[in-house]
Amino acid sequence: MTDDRRHAPATARNRDPILAVLREALPGRGLVLEIASGTGEHAVHFARALPDITWQPSDPDADARASIASWREAEGAFNLRAPLELDAAAVFWPVERVDAIVCINMIHISPWESTLGLMAGAGRTLPAGAPLILYGPFRREGHPLEPSNAEFDLSLKDRDPRWGLRQLEEVSAVADSEGLAFERYVEMPANNLCVIYRRR
C-alpha cells in the first residue's frame, strides 16, 4: 500500500488534551463519527486510547481520506473504520445513527454552511443524550479576542473570505434549533475550546 500519511504538527500538541475531554464526555462504548478527520492522526490516537469505542473517520477530501487510510493501515487499529466520504454541509450523510460526533478544527476552516450542515446532521443521527463535541478557536461575547486568534482569523479570511472564527453563541443557537442543547465548554491550550452539546 502507498504511504499517503500526512502530518499536522498541531495534532501532537492537542491530541492528549482533547482525549481527556473525550474520556469524560463520550459514552463508554459505541460508534463515534469524526467529521473532517483531516490527516487521520487524531483518529488513530483516539481509537488506540479508547478500545471500547468504534471510531468512524470521515472527510470530503480524497487526499485526506487517503492519509486516513494509510494511518489506519500502518497502525492496525481494530476499532478504527475505513474513512467515509462525507461533507458536513450535505443534506444526506452516509450514516443513519451514531452514538457521538466529534468535529475538530473544521468550523473556522469552512463556510458557514458547513456548520449549519453539521448541526442538522447531528440532529438527524444522534439519539437523545448523545454528545456532539467540537474543538477549535471561537469568538465569545464578553471575551476580547486573543491577539493570536485575531491574527489567525485574519489569515483565514485572507485564504477564503467564507472562513473565520465563529461566534460561539451563534453556533450554539444553530445547535439549539436542531435539538442540540449546549452543555459546557472546556478551556484548552493555545486559546482553543472544547464545546459539548447533547441531543435533547
CATH number at residue 38: 3.40.50.150
**Residue given cell 478500545 in the structure block:** 51
List CB contacts of 25: < 8 A, sequence separation 6 or more. Answer: 100, 131, 133, 194, 196
Say if CB 119 and CB 93 are below 8 A apart: no
Alpha carbons 72 and 70: distance in angstroms, whole number: 5
Task: Report the candidate in 31, 155, 175, 44 with the shortest Cα–Cα distance to residue 185.
Answer: 175
Residue 2 domain flag: no
Residue 171 domain flag: yes
- The answer to pTM > 0.95 is yes
Alpha carbons 145 and 156: distance in angstroms, whole number: 15
- The pLDDT score that the predictor gives to residue 76 is 86
Helix (H) or strand (E) holding 177: helix 168-177
- The pLDDT score that the predictor gives to residue 84 is 98
Kindly give the pairing relationship between strand 53-56 and strand 100-104.
unpaired
Q: What is the tally of structural domains in the chain? A: 1
Say if CB 122 and CB 92 are below 8 A apart: no
- The pLDDT score that the predictor gives to residue 9 is 84
Say if CB 118 and CB 35 are below 8 A apart: yes
- The pLDDT score that the predictor gives to residue 2 is 74
DSSP class of 99:
S
Which residue segment(s) compose the domain that 13 sits in? 7-197
- The pLDDT score that the predictor gives to residue 1 is 56
Alpha carbons 54 and 34: distance in angstroms, whole number: 11
CA 150 to chain centre: 21
Residue 96 domain flag: yes
| Residues of the chain below pLDDT 50 | none
- Grid cell for residue 136: 477549535
Residue 1 domain flag: no
- The pLDDT score that the predictor gives to residue 11 is 87
Alpha carbons 98 and 95: distance in angstroms, whole number: 8
Which amino acid, one-letter code, is at 47? Answer: A
- The pLDDT score that the predictor gives to residue 52 is 97
- The pLDDT score that the predictor gives to residue 145 is 95
Which neighbouring-strand residues pair with 94?
none
